[in-house]
Structure formats: structure tokens, C-alpha cells
């Protein structure tokens, strides 16, 4: 296979998305992936973006019928017998200025290099996809706007839109799921310094250094930040405090941002149990988020407040809209999922079932429910996939194809 078969598909690095062109034509082989693409990209690219169900053959046919010039193209090579040959054939129908992004079902670095380096595609993502992954991976490539600033870790805030919605329970279990089952290095950060409950839920004492880290940012380095967070396992640490109720914490501006930057240098994910208040600390931490998770219960008041939280401006590093979690779904006498979705005007991303007896017992014992298989753990795993999608293992027959195609 000759090198750079799709070289003419890669636009000049200085070229940006042209308003004279149709901004995007996207194909996906399954409806779930198509919905994620539309949700992540449609609002950013405008009404001209099109999202169609189809494989490589249908993408080629669609390009042949296309009359308006195209700025960007997304194609799905999942299930193709020879994805490299399919992309080579696609090149004959694609304008040289079009930015091409590729979706597939092969989680392999060699395959990624073949698609992006040798074939000239702007980006490749492996299924299953999340909105955040698409917005961070494809949107800069499509618009020519450059990548989101790179860090070794990402900040995920978990916020209850009303007190008592269960956000702390979800933050704790999400951190456990990501660290113990998905095997990421995770720091759980309880941003309620006076009344936080994450330590109680994990039967863990606070490390005693959070207040000092926030009040004296000039004294904080990577070692201090790590020693302030006791280990709860080989991949999970907790950064929390339990300050006296009559002892206000004086936090200088920029302190929280400095701390999260240091934490992102050490951990894959920093999960922040972030109160829904509007005090300076909460606002500054919200501004560090790469992804926001908003938690509501099925009540009319929570529905109203979810709409208010969704209307808040995105953080500078936040690439997609917040993940919406409906907690206590199926609670007797409460709103149904359909009623909540009708009220919000968007789909619920994750619904966590109403399991009062099991959750009460887990909280009393300090044993997170995510450690037990069942409907609650399955729902938390779905939420974890919204943050870091689990790659599908490649079929064995692909290995020979990839090895045979190496440079």
C-alpha cells in the first residue's frame, strides 16, 4: 500500500472551516454512534451539518451525489473487510480541502497510525464514542481550531442541581468505578470543606492538607498535593476536609485552579464532588472542568434547577454539554423519565434506579455500591463510559491485516 494515499484529503494546516462550504457530512453505521456525533457537533457547526446512517459504500455514493462543496467528512469503517482499501477508494471522491475524520471498531495504535499518518485522515476514534470524546477529538480537526490544551489528566465535576439530589453518592461511586474497574488513576476531591460526606461514604479520614493547599497556594507542589490525599487503594486517593463550622476558609483567587493543575499532572482523572453553590471556590473549580456531570432527582424543583445549570456557560476546557444524570429513577410518586426529558428538551444520559434500601445500607457500612454487581453498578458504569469510553477489543482476524500493512 503506497504511503499517504489520502494525502490530498489533508488540508493546509492554515486553512480554517469555510463558511462557503457545507460544514460537515457525517456517516455512522449504527444509530447510537450517529446520535453521539449529532449531539456533540450539530450545535457547534450549525444547521448545514448533516448526519446520516451509512457505511463506506453509502458514504461514497453520497459524495458522488453531493453538489455543494464540503468542509469536513466523517466516515465509519466499522465492519469493512479492508478498511484501508475502503479509505483509498474514498480518496477518489473527496475534494483535497476536505478534512476527513474516521470512526472504527479497532482499538490499536498501529491501526491509528495507519489511518492518521499514512492515510492522511485528520483524526481516528474507536467506538463506543462519547460526546466529550467527539467534541475534543473531532471538533478541532473539523474546524481547524487546534487541540484542547493538553494535560496529563482531566477534571470531572459532579454537581447536584439541588441539595439532596445524591451527587456525592454518585461522585464516590463514579470514582470507585473508574479506579477499581476501569483501572484509571483517580483522585476524588470533595469541594465541601465544612460538610462534605465523601470520606464517610468511603470510611476514610481526610488527609488534613486541603485547607492549607487552598489558603497557601504558593506552598503547594506535587509532593504536598499527593501527601494531602490518602490512598484508598492502588489507584484511588481522596482529597477532603472537615473544617469546623465556625471556621471560615479564606481562599485567594487562582488557588483552586493552581491545585487542580498540579493534580492533573499526577492523576488520569480528578473527580470533584462540587456543590451547586455560587461561592468563589465553587465557581473557580467549575471553570477548571473538562466535563461536567449534573445530577437531579425526579422532582419538579430539580427539573427547574437542571435547566438553570444547563444554561450556565461552558468552562474554557469543556468541549461538550454536561452529562445529565437522573438519580432515583422510578421513585414512587415522582416524575417519570419521559416527563423529565420532555421538560428538559433533551435526553437523559444516565438514569440511576431508585434503590433506597441498598444505598442506605452501603452508606451506613462505608462500602460503595459500585463494588457490587447489580443495577446501580451497571448505571454507574454507563456514566463512567460517558467520561472514558471502554474500547472494544479488535477481532483476531484484524491483526494479520494490520501487521501486513505496517510501514
Residues 319-350: pLDDT tens digits?
Answer: 889 999 999 999 999 999 999 999 999 999 99
- pTM of the model as a whole: 0.73
3-class SS of residue 166: coil
Taking CA atoms, 128 is separated from 103, 149, 153, in Å, by 9, 23, 21
CB of 291 closer than 8 Å to CB of 298: no
pLDDT number for residue 4: 52
In angstroms, the CA 13 to CA 33 distance is: 28
CB atoms < 10 A from the CB of 359, how many?
Answer: 19
In angstroms, the CA 311 to CA 314 distance is: 9
Q: Does position 148 have pLDDT exceeding 70, yes or no?
A: no
CATH assignment, 154-387: 3.40.50.300
Q: What is the average pLDDT score of the chain?
A: 85
Region 199-204: what's the mean pLDDT?
Answer: 88
Q: Does position 406 have pLDDT exceeding 50, yes or no?
A: no
Q: Where are the alpha helices (DSSP H) in 109-253?
A: 109-113, 131-137, 139-143, 167-176, 198-201, 210-215, 222-227
Q: What is the pLDDT of residues 39-98, one digit of tens each?
A: 999 988 988 899 999 999 999 888 878 877 888 999 999 999 999 989 988 876 777 678
Q: Does position 276 have pLDDT exceeding 50, yes or no?
A: yes
From the centroid of its chain, how far is CA 296?
A: 19
Cell (9 digits) for 154: 482531566
pLDDT number for residue 391: 57
Residue position matching grid coordinates 492518521: 116
The sign of the torsion formed by the CA atoms of 249, 240, 263, 140 equals: negative
Q: Does position 17 have pLDDT exceeding 60, yes or no?
A: no
DSSP-derived pairing of the beta strands 269-273 and 291-296: unpaired
pLDDT number for residue 96: 67
Q: What is the pLDDT of residues 349-372, one digit of tens each?
A: 999 999 988 887 776 677 888 888
> Could you tell me where in the chain the CATH 3.40.50.2300 domains are found?
22-143
Contacts of 83 (CB under 8 A, 6+ apart): 56, 77, 104, 106, 115
Cell (9 digits) for 232: 484508598
Q: Which residue has the higher pLDDT, 143 or 224?
A: 143
CATH assignment, 22-143: 3.40.50.2300
Q: What is the pLDDT of residues 222-237, one digit of tens each?
A: 777 777 888 888 889 9
pLDDT number for residue 392: 52
Amino acid at each position: 500500500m503506497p504511503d499517504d494515499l489520502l494525502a490530498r484529503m489533508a488540508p493546509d494546516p492554515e486553512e480554517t472551516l469555510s463558511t462557503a462550504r457545507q460544514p460537515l457530512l457525517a456517516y455512522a453505521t449504527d444509530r447510537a454512534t450517529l446520535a453521539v456525533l449529532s449531539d456533540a457537533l450539530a450545535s457547534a457547526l450549525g444547521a448545514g451539518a448533516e448526519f446520516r446512517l451509512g457505511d463506506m459504500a453509502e458514504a461514497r455514493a453520497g459524495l458522488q451525489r453531493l453538489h455543494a462543496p464540503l468542509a469536513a467528512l466523517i466516515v465509519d469503517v466499522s465492519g469493512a473487510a479492508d478498511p484501508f482499501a475502503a479509505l483509498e477508494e474514498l480518496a477518489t471522491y473527496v475534494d483535497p480541502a476536505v478534512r476527513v475524520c474516521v470512526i472504527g471498531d479497532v482499538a490499536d495504535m498501529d491501526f491509528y497510525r495507519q489511518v492518521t499518518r499514512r492515510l492522511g485522515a485528520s483524526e481516528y476514534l474507536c467506538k463506543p464514542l462519547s460526546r466529550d470524546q467527539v467534541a475534543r477529538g473531532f471538533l478541532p480537526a473539523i474546524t481547524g481550531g487546534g487541540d484542547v490544551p493538553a494535560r496529563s489528566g482531566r477534571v470531572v465535576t459532579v454537581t447536584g442541581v439541588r441539595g439532596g439530589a445524591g451527587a456525592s453518592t454518585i461522585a464516590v461511586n463514579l470514582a470507585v468505578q473508574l479506579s477499581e474497574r476501569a483501572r484509571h488513576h483517580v483522585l476524588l476531591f470533595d469541594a465541601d470543606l465544612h460538610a462534605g460526606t465523601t470520606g464517610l461514604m468511603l470510611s476514610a479520614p481526610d488527609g488534613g492538607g486541603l485547607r492549607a493547599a487552598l489558603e497557601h497556594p504558593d506552598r503547594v507542589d506535587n509532593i504536598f498535593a499527593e501527601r494531602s490525599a490518602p490512598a484508598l487503594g492502588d489507584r484511588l486517593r481522596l482529597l477532603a476536609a472537615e473544617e469546623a463550622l465556625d471556621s471560615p476558609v479564606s481562599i485567594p483567587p487562582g488557588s483552586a485552579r493552581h491545585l487542580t493543575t498540579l493534580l492533573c499532572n499526577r492523576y488520569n482523572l480528578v473527580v470533584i464532588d462540587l456543590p451547586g453553590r455560587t461561592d468563589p471556590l465553587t465557581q473557580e473549580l467549575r471553570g477548571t472542568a473538562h466535563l461536567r456531570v449534573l445530577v437531579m432527582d425526579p422532582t419538579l424543583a430539580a427539573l427547574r434547577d437542571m435547566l438553570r445549570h444547563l444554561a450556565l456557560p461552558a468552562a474554557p476546557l469543556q468541549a461538550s454539554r454536561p452529562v445529565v444524570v437522573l438519580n432515583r429513577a422510578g421513585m414512587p410518586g415522582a416524575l417519570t423519565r419521559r416527563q423529565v426529558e420532555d421538560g428538559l428538551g433533551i435526553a437523559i444520559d444516565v438514569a440511576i434506579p431508585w434503590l433506597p434500601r441498598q444505598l442506605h445500607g452501603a452508606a451506613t457500612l462505608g462500602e460503595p455500591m459500585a463494588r457490587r454487581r447489580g443495577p446501580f453498578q451497571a448505571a454507574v458504569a454507563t456514566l463512567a463510559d460517558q467520561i472514558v469510553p471502554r474500547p472494544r477489543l479488535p477481532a483476531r482476524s484484524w491483526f494479520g491485516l494490520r501487521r501486513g500493512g505496517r510501514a
